[in-house]
């Protein structure tokens, strides 16, 4: 088996939610769009707590509005339950190449978030999908203007005025009291 790539070469593409049935199947949350694209980005590296291993998918299918799958070494509900919360990673090189100026959502994580007038709000901790628009979850860091966690709508050219991937910096037009 090949070694696991370093963390800066990996991208989280999904996670195991809960067990499904009694034969080792699990519900899958996919970070890809469409959700079934997750199966195109192989090999997968499964992180269960501090353990990492390369995994293959024995079988998968759409189930209602979600996805379920079974790993080859997962044959019963107990084995499936042991995988709950496991994060699924793939090498960034498995993803399609981007054109200049484009980036993946994962590239935004840990970026510093600054207001247009130069105040540090914190770093991007995560992203939320809300239906209307996606939302940046910005948590304070050393040097932030305060200790407030902020939810900032992902509205390019309106709220998010600049994305500088090379310097790991987002600029937002956002009222700090909001």
Kindly tell me if the per-residue pLDDT of 149 is higher than 80: yes
Q: What is the pLDDT of residue 106?
A: 77
Distance CA 119, CA 81 (A): 45
Which tokens sit at 158?
A: 């309106």
Question: What integer is the mean pLDDT of 168-174?
Answer: 96
Question: What integer is the mean pLDDT of 26-49?
Answer: 93
For residues 70 and 24, the answer to whether their CB atoms sit within 8 Å is: yes
- Say whether pTM exceeds 0.95: no
How confident is the model over 48-100, as pLDDT tens digits? 999 999 999 999 999 998 999 999 999 999 999 999 999 999 998 898 888 87
Give the side-chain half-sphere CA count within 13 A for 119.
11
Domains and CATH numbers, the chain: 7-94 (2.40.30.60), 105-172 (2.30.30.240)
């Amino acid at each position: 088996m090949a070694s696991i790539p370093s963390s800066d070469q990996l991208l989280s593409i999904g996670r195991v939610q809960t067990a499904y049935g009694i034969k080792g199947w699990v519900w899958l949350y996919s970070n890809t769009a469409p959700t079934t694209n997750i199966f195109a980005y192989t090999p997968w590296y499964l992180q269960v707590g501090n353990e990492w291993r390369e995994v293959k998918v024995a079988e998968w299918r759409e189930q209602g509005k979600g996805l379920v799958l079974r790993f080859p070494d997962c044959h019963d509900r107990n084995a499936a339950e042991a995988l709950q919360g496991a994060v699924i990673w793939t090498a960034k090189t498995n993803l399609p190449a981007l054109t200049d100026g484009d980036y993946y959502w994962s590239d935004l994580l840990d970026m510093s978030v600054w207001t247009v007038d130069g105040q540090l709000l914190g770093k991007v901790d995560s992203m939320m999908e809300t239906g209307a628009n996606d939302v940046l979850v910005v948590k304070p860091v050393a040097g932030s203007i305060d200790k407030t966690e902020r939810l900032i709508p992902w509205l390019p050219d309106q709220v998010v005025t600049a994305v500088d991937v090379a310097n790991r910096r987002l600029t937002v037009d956002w009222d700090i009291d909001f």
